[in-house]
Amino acid sequence: MISINKSQQQFNLDHNHHSFQTNIIVDKPYSCKFCHINDPLIHIPSLVSTCTKCNIVVHNKCITLKEHFQNQCKNNNNNNNNSSNNSNNNTSGGQKISRSNSITCLFKKLFFSKQSPKKQFIKFGLDITSTSSLPLTLDNLIQWIKLLRFDNDRNIKILKNYDIFDNIKINQEIFDYLIGILQSGSKYHDCLSDFENIANIQNEQFISLTLLYRIMFNWENTIYFNDLDVVNFLSDLYKEYLATLNSSYDPNTHQLSLKLLTILLLLFENQTYLVLSFNSSLIETFINLSNHKNLLKESWTEQEENVLGRVIVLLGQYYHQEPFHSAIEKHPEWIDLIINYSTKNQICLVHKELQPSDIQLGPFIYESPLCVVYKGSCTGQEDTVAIKQLSVESLGFEWPLFFKETTIICLSQHPLVIKCLGAHTLQTEKPFIVTELCSRGNIIQALNSFGSEPPFELVVNMAVEASRAMNYLHSKGITHRDVKPANFLVKDCYSVKLIDFGTSKVLDQNLKMTVIGTPVYMAEEVVKGQSYENSADIYSFGIMLWEMFTRKIPFEGMNEFERINFVLKGGRPTIPDTVPIKLANLIRQCWDSNPSARPTFKQIIDCLVSIVDPVTKRSIVNIHQRMNTATLSNVFKYLDTESLLNCSRVSRQWKRSVYESICSNFKEYENIYWSPKRKSLCPIEQNLKSNKKY
């Protein structure tokens, strides 16, 4: 009774009157017209057929029963002529079955009882996802989703129903269909049902997101996600979910957002999509999640907390890699997340972890109640380093501040910010930080080391470098909050380095900040406990400029109470006449009582550079004053004869350095540019010998 038409790849079921055909999609539930069972008939190609003449839908098993052969097709002209022959047909065993035989009919009804809708759904799902059965086509997937929704969508959120799609390979058509369900106006959007209410839309999106999540674990499907438009759409959709939750909390929307959040995290963690993630709005979406945390409050889940933490950890791991470093540097809010996460969880994501065996302490440099600083050496570093050793038992030590300072130093990669070479933070009672060595102390100590009045150009140059360091920090959205001369160290070549980020904070204009810093350098708004911005650092820098160019102690002779009252009434240190007028005006602008009237560090730099003419025409401090013989020797050995002669004319120091370098390490100067013979004096030595001694 059942024959297979191989050309059409579907069953053709022969009946005495009807012309049944399977694999025809039924647009709505029907009851079987033969057995008249009241339960809705679920259409499965291998179990259900449709008459191509009268369009009735019946079970395949009912077609083969002789008792139903009297059912005539309404569109068949010969129905009446053939009705008498139905009762005489034989069964497969050749035995007649009488319609009046109630026992036989009962047996057949029991034997051929239909499968439950749930069993039909399970069987069809296994068929379309099995490699040996039906291929996973778009039509099959649509049919499977219909079967999934047969019981008023009660089975949609049973996750084990989706297990059959784990690691299954799909095609572009199916992927577009799943994305189309999420998009309004997609050509596939109306294929399943009419979305007349929010519940239907949410159910459709739940199915789509769950299937997208399952297929992500097959690497062959990654090509479909590796599309900028797709990633941006999913990111924007998540933002829409968050916006909906912000206006009114809905558990179903929150559930959808969690599913989509998991998909976005998998995209970010996958190395295949790494560059795409930084070029899209994906990371910005995670930042929105951080802002959303305060709005959800009790509804904030552990899953969202874990996802956000994982994203921050990945940002820290990628920070020192290009092109990701440049992308992160452009977003102060991303840096803020890294700093806050490190402070809260007491973990540094961006530093090199050192062990006590990696360092060797040398002479003592500086001591305070909080730390002791030594000269020393560190594995992998040729130059002498500074080792800042702390003790957890010392007064004022706090682990969060230690991790905060270490993180900010590592994040602030700038030539004028102290360079962190590593830190020891894990399972220790004596943590330490290793940085480059600044042998001349802080900026005031370096100026006082001259004994007499330091060169004006040198003071201006050091002020410019300090301004540039602060300008960099502000460009990253970080307020230092403790600007003072002691936090600007000076290297042997008089290069300035900014230090001490324990009190620094990423600027948040909506936050009322606490009173933090050194009292002498505090701005009025900080003393009053008002909210403040980067302009508070400008005020402190103005006091520091006054101290640098006068070499006096600000507010000397005043106690704390007198100084605070003096400042709050508008009092400031007196600027002597020896300070140039342009510089004096700059200092007054920096410590102006109105924060908005203070200049930015970019404006301070421009003003300092233009104070004296030589500053604008040449380097503020000549390079020959900032390089010693050892450094120059490494440069000279790569120069030709003419260049070396020019170097010997720069200054007496350079002339001596050229002579000593050639005499002491002659073999190192035998390079591709210049190879003089040692038997007689080389042209350089002859030239140097002919000059007077110096």
Residue written as token pair 């069972």: 37
pLDDT at 304 over 90: no
Of 323, 322, 326, 231, nearest to 284 by C-alpha is: 231
105-119, 129-143, 267-281, 584-598: the lowest-pLDDT one: 105-119
Q: What pLDDT score was predicted for residue 203? A: 85
Same domain, yes or no: 633 and 613 = no
Pick the closest to residue 541 from 600, 484, 462 (CA basis). Answer: 484
Collapsed DSSP state (helix, strand, coil) of residue 40 = coil
Q: Give the residue with greater pLDDT, 206 vs 191.
A: 206
Q: What pLDDT does 354 receive?
A: 92
161 and 249 assigned to the same domain? yes
Confidence class for position 482, pLDDT limits 50, 70, 90: confident
**Three-state secondary structure call for residue 248:** coil
> Is residue 580 located within the same domain as residue 662?
no
In 3-state terms the chain splits into helix, strand, coil percentages (rounded to 5) of: 50, 10, 40
The pLDDT value given to residue 307? 85
Read off the pLDDT band of 324 (50, 70, 90). Answer: confident
- Position 78 scores a pLDDT of 45
Establish if 284 belongs to a structural domain.
yes
What pLDDT score was predicted for residue 517? 60
431 and 285 within one domain: no
Q: Provide the pLDDT for residue 590.
A: 95
The pTM for the full model equals 0.61
Confidence category of residue 622, pLDDT binned at 50, 70, 90: low
Q: Which residue has the higher pLDDT, 690 or 221?
A: 221
**How far apart are the C-alpha atoms of 394 and 285, rounded to whole Å?**
42
The DSSP symbol for 574 reads P
Indicate whether 542 pLDDT > 80: yes
Is residue 563 within 8 A of residue 555, CB to CB? The reply is yes
Residue, of 380 and 24, whose pLDDT is higher:
380
598 SS3 class: coil
- The per-residue pLDDT for 423 is 92
Over residues 373-391, the mean pLDDT reads 91
Is 451 in the same domain as 430? Answer: no
What's the DSSP call for residue 54?
T
List CB contacts of 19: < 8 A, sequence separation 6 or more.
51, 52, 53, 73
- What pLDDT band is residue 575 in, cutting at 50, 70 and 90? very high
Most confident listed range (171-185, 580-594, 670-684): 580-594
Write down the pLDDT at residue 447: 92
Mean pLDDT of 87-105: 45
| pLDDT for 572 | 93
Region for 562 from its dihedrals, namely left if φ exceeds 0, alpha if ψ lies in -120 to 50, beta otherwise:
alpha
Beta-sheet strands, E only, within 478-527:
478-479, 488-490, 496-498, 505-506
Whether 260 maps to a domain, the answer reads yes
Indicate the range of 183-197, 310-324, 425-439 predicted with least confidence: 183-197
The string of DSSP letters for 382-398 reads -S-EEEEEE-TTSTT--
Residue 401: what pLDDT?
A: 84
**Per-residue pLDDT, 499:** 87
Residue 197: give its domain's CATH number.
Answer: 1.25.10
The pLDDT value given to residue 611: 83
Look at residue 311 and tell me whether its pLDDT is greater than 60.
yes
| Residue 16 and residue 131 in one domain | no
Mean pLDDT of the chain: 77
Higher pLDDT, 61 or 666: 61
- Is the pLDDT at 620 greater than 70? The verdict is no
Least confident range from 72-81, 236-245, 476-485: namely 72-81
Statement to judge: residues 427 and 448 lie in one domain:
no
Q: Which of 69, 86, 103 delimits the end of a domain?
A: 86
CATH number at residue 63: 3.30.60
Give the number of other Cβ atoms within 10 Å of residue 496's Cβ. Answer: 24
Let me know whether 51 and 32 are in one domain. Answer: yes
- At 46, is the pLDDT very low, low, confident or very high (cuts 50, 70, 90)? low
Q: What is the CATH number of the domain that holds 374?
A: 3.30.200.20
Strand bridging mode 385-390 / 432-436: antiparallel
Which helix (H) or strand (E) element contains residue 260? helix 251-269
**Mean pLDDT on 405-418:** 85
List the CATH number of the domain containing 568.
1.10.510.10
Per the annotation, the verdict on 127 as an active-site residue is: no
In percent, the amount of the chain with pLDDT more than 90 equals: 20
Region 513-542 average pLDDT: 82
pLDDT of residue 89: 43
pLDDT at 582: 92
For residues 548 and 676, state if they share a domain.
Answer: no
pLDDT-based confidence at 594, cuts 50/70/90? Answer: very high
Q: Which residues pair with 432 in a beta bridge?
A: 389, 424
Domain that holds residue 82: 2-86
> Does one domain contain both 335 and 205?
yes
Residues 6+ apart with CB under 8 A from 146: 43, 192
Q: Provide the pLDDT confidence category of residue 511 given band limits of 50, 70 and 90.
A: very low
Say yes or no: 223 and 146 in one domain. Answer: yes
- For the cut 90, the answer to whether the pLDDT of residue 435 exceeds it is yes
**What is the mean predicted confidence (pLDDT) over 424-436?**
90
| Distance of alpha carbon 364 from the chain centroid | 41
Instruction: Supply the pLDDT for residue 621.
Output: 52
In a domain, 93, yes or no: no
238-247, 334-343, 501-510, 623-632: segment of lowest average pLDDT: 501-510
Q: Are residues 67 and 200 in the same domain?
A: no
Question: Annotated catalytic residue: which of 482, 500, 537, 592?
Answer: 482
Local confidence band at 102 (pLDDT 50, 70, 90 cut-offs): low
